[in-house]
A = this chain, B = another copy of it.
Amino acid sequence: MPGESPEAERGSTPARGRLAYFVSDSTGITAETLGNALLINFPAISFETYSFPFVDTVDEAELVVREMDGAADVGEPPLMFTTVKVPAVRAVLARARAVTVDLLSGHLGLLEEALGTTASEQLGQYHGVGDVERYFGRMRAVEYALEHDDGQSMRGLDAADVIIVAPSRCGKTPTTMYLALQYGLRVANYPLIDDDFEREALPSPIAPYLKRCFGLTTNPLRLSQVRHERRPSSRYASLEQCTYELRRAEELYARFGIPYMNSATKSVEEMSVVILQTIRDRDTTHRDKRKRTHEGVPGEGARI
């Protein structure tokens, strides 16, 4: 049927890469996460990815199959990454002329055998609300993070799981938000400014919470670029000022024994995991530092 396949829709525009579809009966976040983690192993190939979340009926599945078959008609068979569990929907998807990577079912079979039980017929609502207490904990953590962003509020700092400190524009805020949203941690962040460097002391509101502080630094050139975006040609953005602040911040971290890392070479995801590990190591009574066990992330049990 014309206009129903992506090829037809694009008309004469050729596909920009090998087509890959993420098909899920829920949000599709798991399918995308793992699908992308697989595709990244083929850096020489360009992929054009499409997401089909909430494919939970036979009718929906038939539309997806028609789309994939339309693509197969005019090019190479597309890749399909799927996490769909419902047998009737799976049966429809299995008919698609696509290379199917079934992300869950094989593993589920293995787990059923190991656990001596069958998987629930209920849909795995992993990205649903799930454990309500844990979910609202994450939501409250986002609120907390907003209220305590950039030193906005001193109230409630004693409730912080971690306080991220750094000069302006080193990546405090995105890391704070990621830790709150994904892990439900109460994260405050606090800017370090010239006053602090001159006093060679932590800002007084956070000084009582030294043990909860985690520092960020970055590369002077990178910092200068980022600051120029905000205030072009300012002293604030000058390479000289950036170099000074970062050097003094690192001295401060060293003086007070504050763990820190360089945000220029790490993603927010990587930084968040490092900070999590640091908190867990700090909080554990077991002091064997080689041991990196910590409570399940995002939390005990599987229901999050």
Task: Tell me the A residues contacting B by CB distance below 8 Å.
Answer: 3-4, 6, 9, 16-18, 20, 22, 26-30, 32-54, 63, 67, 77, 79, 83, 85, 99, 101, 103-104, 106-108, 110-111, 114-115, 117, 119-120, 122, 124-130, 135, 138-139, 142-143, 146, 149, 171, 173-174, 177-178, 180-181, 265-270, 272-273, 277, 286, 288, 290-304
Contact = CB atoms under 8 A, between A and B. Distances in A.
A34 B32 contact: no
A40 to B, nearest CB: 4
B17 A49 contact: no
B36 A302 contact: yes
Nearest to A124: B40
Given A149-B146, A297-B51, A44 B273 contact: no
B295 A36 contact: no
**Lowest 5 CB-CB distances: which A-B pairs, in order?**
A49-B296, A39-B302, A41-B119, A127-B269, A99-B114
A37 B270 contact: no
Contacts of A120: 41-44
7 contacts: A9-B291, A35-B302, A47-B296, A52-B292, A99-B110, A101-B107, A143-B174
A51 B110 CA distance: 21
B27 A273 contact: yes
